[in-house]
Structure 1
Amino acid sequence: MAEQMDIEKHYDLNERDFFEKILGESMTYSCADWRQCGSLSLAQYQKYQKMVKFAGIDAHTESVVDFGCGWGTNLKWLAEDFPALKRITGITISYEQASYIRENVMRGSLGRRITLDEVDVFEHIAAQPTPRYDAAISVGAFEHFASPKHYKQNNHIERYGQFFNGARRCVAGKFALQTIVAAQPANRLKGEARMRAMRFQYFIAKHIFPNALTPTVAYIEQAVNGYYDIEQLELRGDEYAYTIMEWQQNLMQHKEGVPHHQYELFMRYFDLCIEHFLSGYISLARLSLNPV
């Protein structure tokens, strides 16, 4: 699993204003839902609405947890859209993200219903009573819940299962999950496809997200067994490619205000991600999980 120093490498060492430049006003660092929208901000809000639907959140829901809450945009939208929500909890181990949320999301009356827990997700769920939340969402964090070390030791599915077991114990209702998925592990590919996938993995591990592990849908299906039924699943790698194209355009527009090495690194990162999402090696999965 990615540890705090791994998260800091990406989020805390790249200054906040850098992410504000590339992500735009929604400040959302995950795949948007483009099927009915033409702007990045609206597409991110539509993605949030889909996750709300997948989690079964409605006017009667009183408590929601966001496992890996990023820059806090979902927390803000939940507080604005659902006045009956009494407790909205975000989990993050990024100091920079937590600081941003306190300064920009938890200000004013909304902040009275938003709680931030700066701990590891596994630590948080282990400390909760049964059950504590009515519903859960997690967007773009699941890739950090197991590591290449778990994969090499062949206990990555067990690790995912520990997470789903803990989530099921502390969340009474449905769970909306969005994560990048691999079509299959790179070491099972052949020829040039294998080499491209291995180079991509090496670049991500070295420069972007140390100790992250991209799951497959099959891994998730095995890990949720006994805890959740997969009520709905959609795969939209094309939408992630389009989202990253928007980020890349934003980055190019701010080229003069970004250090050269950072600009070149993220342009390479975005190019590789677009290539692999469009090739089908990786995709974007959205799941609605119903507790059993």
Structure 2
Amino acid sequence: MTMKIGEAMESLLRGGMPVRFTAYDGSSAGPPDAEIGLELVNPRGLAYLLTAPGDLGMARAYVSGDLLLHGVHPGDPYDALVLLQNNLSFRAPSPSEAVELVRSLGLGTLRPPPPPPGEALPRWRRAMEGLRHSMGRDAEVISHHYDVSNAFYELVLGPSMTYTCAVYPSADATLEEAQFEKYDLVARKLDLQPGQRLLDVGCGWGGMVRHAAREYGVRALGVTLSRQQASWAKEAIDREGLADLAEVRHLDYRDVMESDFDAVSSIGLTEHIGVRNYPAYFAHLRDRLRPEGRLLNHCITRPHNHRQDIGAFLDRYVFPDGELTGAGRIITEVQNVGLEVMHAENLRRHYALTLAAWCQNLKDNWDACVAEVGEGTARVWGLYMAGSRLAFERNEIQLDHVLAVRTTEAGDDGFPLRPTW
């Protein structure tokens, strides 16, 4: 007897289907009155699910439009992800069940379809084209994510054009207020003063560079591997009349040879460096500082200190070659290059709020975003940002500030006895 897709799905679940599931063969599963529904549109979607188990297969089907979510907006599928994560649990079929399932669904479902456009190569294929975290390969993967479209980023990120965790001074603060507070908190931790020199590595669209120049009278240099980011930042600097103080270069941070900076900020770059490269990374930043110069490292972390890749979906569609570890590992590596760690702070809940605001922007500007980058890419962003929000809320990932200083040979650090920020 041939088993239909809905029956097969239900047979593999512990506790039943928490949403209404319908398939192209007319079958269904789950409560008929469920507010959220999953619709499998065609055989290609089924093949995606079966040939790449886990988040990658589901992401491929969803990005391609072969698996539809009903009851939530594609710009913010957060409610669906919460429901599925809380209630969807698959069991492994026995060998005889697996044979029966394949026989019922057809051998053709085990033939992998071509991946959707926009998916990065698997890591083993990327390794054939360049060493992981070499300058060439880093430039390629940064371009994959950040050179999407400046117009798209303006729609999603808002006027600040800031693609890193904001700091909410209160729960009802706007995204723009929170991004201003984030930059200002970094500036206060670095104790920026008029006339000082700041290096901002991985500067994005120049938000920190412009804030330091505009609010603190600091001469700021930012570097980014994204050509589109550098172009946008230069235009913003000119538009705001900051060209005498602020500069952004399209450059790898490893190619910055200037030194004697009063401060270095790294906001959202460490995730792209590779854990094995932390010693060289922090040593390079240390060498850019004058004695008593400060370093502020802001990055996504794990709640443990093991090196961990970011998962198949994020690696293929969002941050190729990304790696995360814990704040303890970062502090260890900062100390090992001779910097003194003065303060660490976990801003995990702030990133959940930031991602919720970005999803709202994507939802509010959905048609314009789709027109700019295509529906597949817009779906990727909604899925990844809503999923990341959930991960921050559940303490699966964190966001840490680590503040350090290059002490003098006599041990002077230039700090007051208590923090001033």
For residue 162 of structure 1, report the CA deviation from its aligned partner.
1.2
2:300 corresponds to 1:180 = yes
Structure 1: 5+ residue stretches without partners: 189-197
Q: Which residue of 2 is the match for residue 213 of structure 1?
A: 323
Partner amino acid, structure 2, of 1:57: L
Identity %: 25
Distance change in 2, residues 1:35/1:113 (3 Å): closer
For residue 187 of structure 1, report the CA deviation from its aligned partner.
8.2
Q: Which residue of 2 is the match for residue 193 of structure 1?
A: none
Q: Which residue of 1 is the match for residue 252 of structure 2?
A: 120
Q: Which residue of 1 is the match for residue 163 of structure 2?
A: 29
Flag as ranges the 4+ runs of structure 1 deviating above 3 A.
106-109, 185-188
Give the secondary-structure state (helix, strand or coil) at the position aligned to 2:311: helix
Which of 138, 159, 162 matches 2:280?
Answer: 162
* Cα separation, 1, equivalents of 2:265 and 2:306: 28
Q: Which residue of 1 is the match for residue 398 of structure 2?
A: 283
Distance change in 2, residues 1:186/1:133 (3 Å): closer
Q: Which residue of 1 is the match for residue 231 of structure 2?
A: 99
Structure 2: 5+ residue stretches without partners: 1-132, 408-421
* TM-score normalised to structure 2 length: 0.60
Partner amino acid, structure 1, of 2:304: Q
Contact (CA 8 Å) 1:76, 1:110: kept in 2 or not? yes
Which of 128, 135, 150 matches 1:16?
Answer: 150
* Cα separation, 1, equivalents of 2:306 and 2:245: 43
Question: Whose RCO is larger (CA < 8 A, sep 6+)?
Answer: 1
Which of 37, 42, 53 matches 2:188?
Answer: 53
Deviation track 1:92-134 (CA, whole Å, cap 9, x = no partner) reads 110000110111223464112222232211222xx23xx4311
For residue 256 of structure 1, report the CA deviation from its aligned partner.
1.3
Partner amino acid, structure 2, of 1:18: F
2:376 corresponds to 1:265 = no
Contact (CA 8 Å) 1:228, 1:290: kept in 2 or not? yes
Structure having the higher helix fraction is 1
For residue 24 of structure 1, report the CA deviation from its aligned partner.
0.6
Q: Which residue of 1 is the match for residue 210 of structure 2?
A: 76
* Greater displacement, 167-176 / 240-249: 167-176
* Cα separation, 1, equivalents of 2:342 and 2:307: 30
Contact (CA 8 Å) 2:294, 2:404: kept in 1 or not? yes
Partner amino acid, structure 2, of 1:140: G
* Cα separation, 1, equivalents of 2:306 and 2:262: 37
* Cα separation, 1, equivalents of 2:313 and 2:306: 14
Q: Which residue of 2 is the match for residue 137 of structure 1?
A: 265
Q: How many residue pairs get matched? A: 264
* Cα separation, 1, equivalents of 2:138 and 2:166: 26
Distance change in 2, residues 1:223/1:254 (3 Å): same
Q: Which residue of 1 is the match for residue 345 of structure 2?
A: 234
* Cα separation, 1, equivalents of 2:382 and 2:166: 19
Give RMSD over aligned pairs.
1.9
Contact (CA 8 Å) 2:200, 2:223: kept in 1 or not? yes
* Cα separation, 2, equivalents of 1:55 and 1:211: 30
Q: Which residue of 1 is the match for residue 411 of structure 2?
A: none
